[in-house]
Structure 1
Amino acid sequence: MYGGTFGAVLALVTDKSVSSGPPPVEAPIAHAPIGAVAEPAPPPEPESTGEHKLPFGRPGKPMGNSPFMFGLVAALGVLTAWWLVQMVAAAGSVLVLIVVSLFLAVGLNPAVEWLHGRGMARIWAITIVFVGVIAFFAIFALSIVPALTEQTTGFVQDVPTLVQQLQNHPLIRSLDQEYQVLDKLTQYVTSGDLASQLFGGILGVAGVVISAVFSFLTVLVLTLYFLGSLNSIKESGYRLVPRSRRERVTKLVDEVIRQIGGYVGGNLIISLIAGVVTFIFLSIAGVPYALPLAIFVAITDLIPMVGAVIGAVVASLVGLLTSLPVGIACVVFFVIYQQIENYVISPRVFKSSVDVPPIATIIGALLGGALLGVVGALLGIPLAAAVLLILREVVLPRQEKL
């Protein structure tokens, strides 16, 4: 009995002597509340390997923050921008033709939609409208080319008579006797040197004519293409917009296209009225070349602000060459008609399509004319209307919500 007790005590003493230090204290187990998600343990910090960091950049990219790399990338960006600008400048004439064709298509689209809404197939509506446009330019060419040819030939033939009349003036006679001015002027006009310097010779004239014909045909073809595929172009463009904003963008773009088309179509209607009224008046007044002058007035009437004045001045000068009373009658007619067009015809035509303040009209025409000449002046007003619409429908409501 004592032997067993002594053995147990000896075993206990032996076990305590082997273990050094106090007995380990177990940490209490922290129970996470029910439903809580245990946070992941933070990753262990990397041990220091004794490597030295590079003076710039990340490991493996020693030139990441180098001033040399920054300058190189900046220089490449500048060169790329310059290259793009040069490409746009080189293709400027082609881009102008594309923009003009697109605006013509948008302007002719209301007429196509009007015919299509009355039961006519769209392809036939486009054909009728396009044939009307071609017929207008054909009539203009057939009417103005013979007149210009006849007037130019007559002027060249009458140069000796005009020179003889100038020689009767005492001052001009004295200058001519000393410097032979009139003889040199007669030889210069009748020898063809004037045409050579104006158009660069025969090759220059041919180049101008070929370029004009090519541009005209290009505009016609592109206008026909845009007119036929205008709806598909719009649908393809709308698909590029995110679905959440597609409906809003569709309504806004459709309204912009409607206003641009309303302006272009309305301007064409006003110009047509101006040409018809001018033709009637010039025919009654007995002014020669009434049809080409009326078409010229209709075309120049498309140009904002100064176009109507240009057409009126040319027609009045032709009337003045006919007789003094006819010239005065032409001036009176154009002054009265311009007032009627500005205050009666234009407001009625544009009242349901374009609402552009006068200051925006002037600024748009001036900026467009400075950038793209006559074409820019034509396109400046509808673009100003589009910008005002975007400001009114998008920018101002967003500012009100801030």
Structure 2
Amino acid sequence: MTDTAPDAVSRPETPARPGTSAPARAAMGPADDPGEVTDVLPGVPGPARPGDPPGPRAAPARPAADAEKPADAAPYGLPGKPFARGPFLWGLTAALGVLTAWGLAQALVSARGVIVLTVVAAFLAVGLNPVVEGLRRWGLGRRAAISIVFLGVIVMFGLFGLAIVPPVSQETSDFVSAVPGYVQDLLANPTIKRLDADYQILANVRDYITSGGLGATVAGGILGAGAVVLDAFFSGLTLLVLTLYFLGSLPSIREYLLRLVPASRRPRTAAIGDEILAGIGGYVAGNVLISVIAGALSWLFLTVAGAKYALALALVVAVTDLIPLVGATVGAVLVSAVGFLQSATLGIACAIFFVVYQQIENYVVYPRVMRRSVDVAPAVTVIAALFGGALLGAVGALLAIPVAAAVALILREVVLPRQARL
């Protein structure tokens, strides 16, 4: 009688699975047998196996790490739903937005003077940069070229002050010296005598002078004028310093601004930016050239006509000619008025000269000088100058034309081609 192994009798054979050979099934262990179902989840009993004792199977013990965990993972309870955005929350958010916008507007208004100085300094730096680049092409370094250009600007301001201040001081001194004579002439006038007899004008004037009211008014006027002069001096000094800084760091500022543009668009942006800078520089150089021509011709005419302080009046014409549209007219009116104060013949001659010269400047000089600098339609020029003057006065009118040229270039090179592809 042949002995039989107990396992062979007690353990039934697992039915063969398709694609599994008998040697492979024999090599499999109890845990590797694909036909055997094992417990997958800890703590959950699996199905009964053949040979297991009857009765419920006990769950295995929990690991020690699980036993140490707290029963409730959120000791303060689960978070609830977020609050609904009701009318109060919307109103509070809107009020905070309005207050923020109002604060930013107040900050801009308070810093308006600084913003204008910064913009004008950047504008002057861009306008002087072509001169610096021209000196560099002659073999000078950038620092030496900037020093020469800045020294020339300071000399120009100094000459302007030397030409304007002495005549104004002399005229003021002459007027103060002539006041007693004017008073005596007024007292000898029959009409003034009759009005003084009726209304006691001289007595009221004498009481006003002796009471100290005139002294307080004059002192207040002197202090106000001194404050205006000091403010203008420090503003001019700040403008020169800012212009020097912008002129020295213009290439680095350009490179930094280009880094803010995506890399795929930098070449095109750099080309458009260089074109805008070249246009602004050409406009500033052309405007200065036109003003120099106007001042030189005015000085020559006033000298030949025998006007007093011809150089100072010519500088007034040159400075006011920098303002687009109305600057030349303002300078002509001022100089003609001074000419009428000297003599009627000189005033009429000044009026005729400036009328003729402005026609030549508008139709001959200006188109030839500005032809290569800015490409803006005449109507756009007038509208831009009006808007700039309304926003920032003379400075806005001066900046409006190159800004309009830059906007026109962007529209022509970016917006219009994109609209044509749609």
> Is the 1:112–1:126 Cα contact (8 Å) retained in structure 2?
yes
Structure 1 equivalent of residue 335 of structure 2: 315
Structure 2 equivalent of residue 4 of structure 1: none
Cα distance change of structure 1 residues 175 and 62 upon mapping to structure 2, 3 Å threshold: farther
Distance 1:401 1:180 in 2: 84
User: Is there any run of 5+ residues in structure 1 with no aligned partner, and where?
Assistant: 1-58
Alignment partner of 2:322: what SS?
coil
1:108 pairs with 2:128: yes
Cα distance change of structure 1 residues 397 and 119 upon mapping to structure 2, 3 Å threshold: same
Distance 1:192 1:386 in 2: 58
Alignment equivalent of 1:273, drawn from 293, 306, 323: 293
| CA RMSD of superposed structures (Å) | 2.6
Alignment partner of 1:352: what SS?
coil
What does 1:28-177 correspond to in 2, within 5 Å?
60=80, 62-166=82-186, 171-177=191-197
> Is the 1:199–1:205 Cα contact (8 Å) retained in structure 2?
no
1:361 pairs with 2:400: no
Q: Which amino acid aligns with 1:342?
A: N
1:384 pairs with 2:404: yes
Distance 2:303 2:368 in 1: 27
Cα distance change of structure 1 residues 138 and 196 upon mapping to structure 2, 3 Å threshold: farther
Q: Which amino acid aligns with 1:382?
A: P
Please list the CA deviations of residues 252-281 of structure 1 after superposition, one character each: whole Å capped at 9, or x if unmatched. 111111111111111111111111111111
Please list the CA deviations of residues 315-337 of structure 1 after superposition, one character each: whole Å capped at 9, or x if unmatched. 11222222222222111111111
Q: What is the Cα deviation at residue 206 of structure 1?
A: 3.0
Alignment partner of 1:132: what SS?
helix
Larger radius of gyration: 2
Distance 1:374 1:157 in 2: 36
Alignment equivalent of 1:335, drawn from 355, 365, 374: 355
Q: Which amino acid aligns with 2:360?
A: I
Please list the CA deviations of residues 355-389 of structure 1 after superposition, one character each: whole Å capped at 9, or x if unmatched. 11111111111111111111111111111111111
Q: What is the Cα deviation at residue 223 of structure 1?
A: 0.5
Distance 2:139 2:227 in 1: 45
Please list the CA deviations of residues 26-67 of structure 1 after superposition, one character each: whole Å capped at 9, or x if unmatched. xxxxxxxxxxxxxxxxxxxxxxxxxxxxxxxxx745334222
Cα distance change of structure 1 residues 128 and 207 upon mapping to structure 2, 3 Å threshold: same
Distance 2:215 2:390 in 1: 29
Q: Which amino acid aligns with 1:274?
A: A
Distance 2:211 2:190 in 1: 27
Q: Which amino acid aligns with 2:117?
A: L
Distance 2:295 2:212 in 1: 34
Distance 1:153 1:301 in 2: 29
Alignment equivalent of 2:319, drawn from 299, 314, 327: 299
Q: What is the Cα deviation at residue 211 of structure 1?
A: 1.2
Cα distance change of structure 1 residues 71 and 333 upon mapping to structure 2, 3 Å threshold: same
> Is the 1:163–1:182 Cα contact (8 Å) retained in structure 2?
no
Alignment partner of 2:147: what SS?
helix
> Is the 1:63–1:69 Cα contact (8 Å) retained in structure 2?
no
Q: What is the Cα deviation at residue 346 of structure 1?
A: 0.9
Distance 1:191 1:245 in 2: 74
Q: Which amino acid aligns with 2:355?
A: V
Structure 2 equivalent of residue 208 of structure 1: 228
Please list the CA deviations of residues 111-132 of structure 1 after superposition, one character each: whole Å capped at 9, or x if unmatched. 1111112222222221111111
Distance 2:219 2:392 in 1: 22
Distance 1:397 1:181 in 2: 75
Cα distance change of structure 1 residues 170 and 339 upon mapping to structure 2, 3 Å threshold: same
User: Is there any run of 5+ residues in structure 2 with no aligned partner, and where?
Assistant: 1-78
* Identity %, equivalent residues: 59
Compute the TM-score of the two structures, normalised by the length of structure 1: 0.79
Which shows bigger deviation, 192-201 or 215-224?
A: 192-201
Alignment equivalent of 2:282, drawn from 262, 269, 278: 262
**What is the number of residues matched between the two proteins?**
344
Q: What is the Cα deviation at residue 175 of structure 1?
A: 3.1
